[in-house]
Amino acid sequence: MPMLRLAAFLLALAAAVGTADCAAQSSNTLRAFGAAAYGLSAQQLAVVINDNDPASVEVGLYYARARGVPAQNIVRLRLPAGERQLGVQQFAEFRAALAAQLGADIQALLLVWTTPYAVECNSITGALALGFDAALCGHSCEPSRRSPYFDSASLRPYADYAMRIAMLLPVESVAAAKALIDRGVAADRSMPRATAYLLTTSDSARNSRAVFFPKDGRLLRPPLAIRNLNAESLEDANDVMFYLTGRVTVDKLETLRFVPGALADHLTSTGGDLTGSSQMSSLRWLEAGATASYGSVSEPCNHWQKFPHPAALIKHYALGATAIEAYWKSVAWPTQGLFIGEPLAAPYRR
């Protein structure tokens, strides 16, 4: 496994992101950031609590204390608790009520609940950031709206693109949600010696992004290795920072140790259908010890643009991005994708 300097490593990742959608943006990102310039903070994050959900209230206030979120950034609204999705009118009313309480300095949103997580075929995080896309629900396998934030050099998505990136922090278990928050806080500037595991499986339909896996390599600082495997699952690894694969269900998660700040997801149709049972829920990644994850709430087909681009994800996280920034910058068409976890974790922030 070759040892690489940071500049060479990031240029190699930029080359791996070099698709027609984002080749120019990759080089612009590196020029703009140099070593690192990320800085999304608690002062730029709104914590959104559902007062109809006691777990949302408890976890939301715990998060605000743990991260030092200003009191004026805590938004308390009422949504139906226990329902998978919002109707279009319900969502429009919710989005308007939320926007009325947000200042221009708010760049990102944390939704503290498990349900609702969808707006018809859209994810709630995608609909909040880009607006509800009704046309997509008639043909969910079609391309969806392109995110201008994808692999961009932007540090202020609302200021630059009038979009507030969003992440959902599930609260099925209050204890597990608090442990997730604690992992995110522990990750900050930790520079752990860890590995990005990129798995190509026998499930060819779900390997659509494997072509973008960066080559094996190792950095001294941050001390991150990239390892490609042809395998159905990863087993007995104790240094997992990234775990990206394509499977309906991922086995042997109980044998792994995810380091604080770890990002992990599986490319499949409905991983973001958190309470569904037809495929593995993205919640399983958080339960296994990851700090953030991603999945689609409706059938997206296997367009790579609808899932985290591995090179973009690793690049931005290695540059010091928070989990929410790195994940959002890695998805070109995020309308159906649900981002979950602790948004401010930043193990490689300098």
SS3 85: strand
Q: Can you tell me the mean pLDDT for 7-32?
A: 52
Share of the chain above pLDDT 70, in %: 90
What pLDDT was estimated at residue 39?
A: 82
CA distance 96 to 87: 14
Q: Looking at the predicted structure, is the pLDDT value of residue 28 above 50?
A: no
Confidence check: pLDDT of 24 > 70? no
pLDDT of residue 186: 98
Instruction: Give the model's confidence band at 18: pLDDT under 50 very low, under 70 low, under 90 confident, else very high.
Output: low
- The residue-averaged pLDDT of 124-130 equals 98
Instruction: Write down the pLDDT at residue 278.
Output: 86
For 341, half-sphere exposure in the C-beta direction (CA atoms, 13 angstrom radius) is 36
Residue 23 is predicted with a pLDDT of 41
Instruction: Say what the pLDDT of residue 305 is.
Output: 98
Cβ–Cβ under 8 Å, residues 199 and 244: yes
Residue 337, beta-bridge partner list? 296
pLDDT confidence of residue 10: 61
Query: What is the Cα–Cα distance from 137 to 59, expressed in whole angstroms?
Result: 32
Instruction: Give residue limits of the domains in the chain.
Output: 3-36+191-334, 42-168
Which phi and psi (to 5°) does residue 295 adopt? -165, 160
pLDDT of 16 strictly over 50: yes
- Quote the CA–CA distance of 320 and 350 in Å, as a whole number: 6
Residue 110 near residue 339 (C-beta atoms within 8 A): no
Q: How far apart are CA 152 and CA 26, in angstroms?
A: 7
Number of H helices, E strands in the chain: 10, 15
Both tokens of residue 33? 């950031």
As a three-state string, the secondary structure of 236-250 is CCCCEEEEEECCCCC
Closest CA to 334 of 289, 288, 303, 290: 303
Average pLDDT for 317-346 = 98
Each residue of 44-72: pLDDT tens digit?
A: 999 999 999 999 999 999 999 999 999 99
Lowest mean pLDDT among 6-10, 102-106, 165-169: 6-10
Task: Give the tens place of pLDDT for each residue, 201-253.
Answer: 999 999 999 999 999 999 888 999 999 999 999 999 999 999 999 999 999 99
Over the stretch 165-193, which tens digit does the pLDDT of each residue have? 999 999 999 999 999 999 999 999 999 99
Q: Is the previous residue joined to 116 through a cis bond, with omega within 30 degrees of 0?
A: yes
Average of per-residue pLDDT values in the chain? 92
Q: What is the DSSP letter of 185?
A: H
Model pLDDT, residue 31:
42
Kind of pairing, strands 194-200 and 224-230? Answer: parallel
Confidence at 81, pLDDT banded by 50, 70, 90: confident
Residue 259 has pLDDT above 50, yes or no: yes
Kindly state the average pLDDT of the residues 72-80: 97
